Amino acid sequence: MSDFALSRGNWLERGIGALRLGRANLNLRLGAGIVLAWALVALLAPWIAPFDPIAHNLPDKLQGPSLAYPFGTDNFGRDILSRVIYGARIDLQMGVIGVLFPFLIGTTIGSIAGYAGGWVDSVLMRLVDVVLAFPFLVLMLAIIAILGPGLYSFYIAMALVGWVSYARLVRAQVLVLKTSDFVTAARSLGFGRLRILFRHILPNCIAGSIVFSMSDVVLVVLSGSAISYLGLGVQPPTAEWGVMIAEGQNFITTAWWITTFPGLAIVFMALGFSLLADGLAERLGLRQR
């Protein structure tokens, strides 16, 4: 289908084309820029970080921002800038993997529930209700506590809890499209159920989920940091922003830079994905200005 590059119907082509041609709105450009910048930082961390993020250097401990240490050092003398740079690797990975699996699981379950209807729909939606009945973080913590602390436990917990929003979102749109004329037309032409669902319904309702997933990245990164802060996620001495804030809180009155810079990093990554989500929604025509 690549020879139809001029057409504007496909969201993927439109999204990519918009980025390339610079026709995008400001939100989309800013958001994509920030996210891309973080991705570069994460990718190039070994080359751009001035110091080792883990090795202790006690003679230089607790130094304020200076030319040698732009973001200062922590109580072990580790360069905060280097740790923030290395932290981008973990936090970006958390954001992407922590959203990818809920997205895939939720989209599949939601579309099956919406398209099959009947008791299948009832069973799956009651399952959603059960998950939603618990507060998000409490359920996450419970699952991680059972599995044991660590990044993989976090991903598994995220996949078990996070899919419900995608399932509801996709189900609602599948329900609308199920009775649309082009789906009835596909049925009248004798197309199979799987073909109708995956080729005709899903591509037309996935855009909303993609936009939601961008803003969901924010939530995942924040909860990942929160869980690391509580000691159940990434373990020290690994550089992760939530861990860094947790470690720095004892020095908050004497060495503000230890907690402030990783905090700002979280804010800026969240901002990037929020803007990207907003811009994408506008670009895909999901939201009127």
Partner 1 sequence: MNASLPLLDVKDLMVRFRAAGAGIPFTRPRYINAVNGVSLTVAPGETLGIVGESGCGKSTLGRAILNLVEFESGAVRFEGGEVSARDKAAIARLRGETAMIFQDPYGSLNPRIPIGEAIAEVLRVHRKVGADAVPARVAELLRLVGLTPDLAGRRPHQLSGGQCQRVGIARALAVEPRLIIADECVAALDVSIQAQILNLLMELQRRMNLALIFISHDLGVVRHLCRRVAVMYLGRIVELGPTEQVFSAPRHPYTRALLAAVPDIDPDRLLAPPQLGGEPPSPQDLPSGCPFHPRCPHAQTACARGNAPTLRATIPGDLRAGEVACHFDLPPDTQQGEDP
Q: Which window, 122-130, 131-139, 182-190, 209-217, contacts partner 1 (CB under 8 A)?
A: 182-190
The single residue among 56, 61, 178, 187 that binds partner 1, judged by CB under 8 A, is: 187
Contact residues for 138 (Cβ-Cβ < 8 A; gap 6+)? none
| Contact with partner 1 (CB under 8 A) among 47, 189, 253, 289 | 189
Q: Which is nearer to partner 1, 199 or 287 (CB)?
A: 199
Contacts of 278 (CB under 8 A, 6+ apart): 27, 28, 31, 287
Nearest-angstrom CA–CA distance, 10 and 15: 8
- 7 counts as binding partner 1 under rule CB under 8 A: yes
- Cβ atoms of residues 182 and 200 within 8 Å: yes
Nearer to partner 1, 196 or 270 (CB): 196
* 180 lies in the binding site for partner 1 (CB under 8 A): yes
Residue 185 binding partner 1, by CB under 8 A: yes
Reading the block at residue 149, the tokens are 């602390």
Spatial neighbors of 210 by CB under 8 A, at least 6 apart, are 11, 280
Least CB distance from residue 24 to partner 1, whole Å? 20
Of 60, 59, 52, the C-alpha closest to 83 is 52
CB-CB contact of 95 with 220 (8 Å)? yes
**Does the protein bind partner 1 through residue 194 (CB under 8 A)?**
no
117 binds partner 1 (CB under 8 A): no
* 3 state SS of 98: helix
Of 238, 218, 213, nearest to 228 by C-alpha is 238
Minimum Å gap between C-beta 148 and partner 1 is 44
Stretch that binds partner 1, among 46-54, 74-82, 184-192, 247-255 (CB under 8 A): 184-192
Q: What is the DSSP letter of 140?
A: H
186 binds partner 1, rule: CB under 8 A: yes
Q: Would residue 89 be called left, alpha or beta, if left means φ above 0 and alpha means ψ between -120 and 50 degrees?
A: alpha
Nearest CB to partner 1, comparing residues 18 and 265: 18
Does the protein bind partner 1 through residue 192 (CB under 8 A)? yes
Of 23 and 195, CB closest to partner 1: 195
Task: Please report, as residue ranges, which positions from 9 to 28 form the binding site for partner 1 (by CB under 8 A).
Answer: 9-10
Among the listed ranges 4-12, 40-48, 87-95, 229-237, the one in contact with partner 1 (CB under 8 A) is 4-12
- Determine the interface stretch with partner 1 among 21-29, 48-56, 140-148, 198-206 (rule: CB under 8 A): 198-206
Helices 80-116, 151-178: axis angle to 10 degrees equals 40
First to last CA, the chain: 31
Q: Is 287 in the site for partner 1 (CB under 8 A)?
A: no
- Angle made by CA atoms 111, 153, 207, in degrees to the nearest 5: 30
Q: Which of 188, 194, 288, 289 binds partner 1 (CB under 8 A)?
A: 188
Q: Using CB under 8 A as the criterion, which residues of the chain lie in contact with partner 1 when the complex forms?
A: 1, 3-4, 7-10, 180-182, 184-192, 195, 199-200, 203-204
